[in-house]
Amino acid sequence: MFAIEIPSIQSEIDGNLLSLTLGGVKSYGEDNLYSRSQSDQHFKVFVGFQNKVCTNLCVWTDGYLDNLKVRSEVMLRAHTRDLFQQYNHSFHLHHLKMLSDYSITEEQFAHLVGKCRIYNHLPNEIRKGITPVNFGDQQMGLVVKDFYKEESFCKDQNGRINLWKLYNLFTGANKTSYNDSLLDRSVSAYNLIEEIRWGLEGKNSWYLN
């Protein structure tokens, strides 16, 4: 995996400095290593922001190619350039900044954690229509621990936590993931928190119901 910081593009959210970062992962697990002919090489590439307070990576769908298949360095460079050119960092930042305007109670947090643990055991037919959560029990345990103990992102004295801090609890727990699943879980974390925001705006959210 590689990551390159672009320090000339930075912003601040809730007191945290963010810096534009781009990078990728070579997906050897998806390559046919035994093929005698030239076959596709698999990559995952991204562009997003890194939280300088904790090095958490903020990636969303618009800045991520999860299954890039190429047969040459020229193809890899071209597809990666297309991703970077299509990515709108101002639009991404706008959505990230919105998260600090919403918060949930300790009771809602407990409900969310329970639903996240339940999701991975639901029958496939029930999962349809529910935003996927790719975090296992180990990561969810870290999210719960840091809800109470993480100095920068824990709950406040009233037991509430804003969605920016909650998002960082998930991206922080994601740092224990292997490289081949880290980016997928990073996108999953953002999608989950966005659904929570929608739920707080009155829209239907399975994780809050």
Chain segment 182-191, per-residue pLDDT in tens: 899 999 999 9
Q: Write out the E strands in 105-186.
A: 161-162
Average pLDDT, the chain: 92
CA distance readout (Å), 5 to 88, 164, 168, 201: 16, 21, 19, 34
Task: Tell me the pTM.
Answer: 0.90
CA distance readout (Å), 110 to 15, 48, 84, 156, 192: 26, 29, 38, 15, 15
- Write down the domain spans for the chain: 2-96, 100-200
Predicted pLDDT of residue 99: 98
Both tokens assigned to 39 = 């076959």
Predicted pLDDT of residue 129: 87
Please compute the mean of the pLDDT values over residues 196-201 and round it to a whole number: 96
Chain segment 146-173, per-residue pLDDT in tens: 999 999 999 999 999 999 999 999 999 9
Chain segment 16-64, per-residue pLDDT in tens: 999 999 998 886 666 665 665 577 888 999 999 999 989 899 999 999 9
Predicted pLDDT of residue 32: 61
More confident residue, 72 or 104: 104
Binned at pLDDT 50, 70 and 90, residue 1 comes out as confident
Q: Considering Cα of 64, then 117, then 53, then 10, what sign does the dihedral take?
A: positive
Predicted pLDDT of residue 178: 82
Asked if pLDDT for residue 104 goes beyond 90, the answer is yes
- Residue pair 76/167 in contact (Cβ under 8 Å)? The answer is no
Predicted pLDDT of residue 35: 60
Binned at pLDDT 50, 70 and 90, residue 96 comes out as very high
Please compute the mean of the pLDDT values over residues 70-88 and round it to a whole number: 91
Choice among 83-87, 149-153, 180-184, 191-195 with the minimum mean pLDDT: 180-184
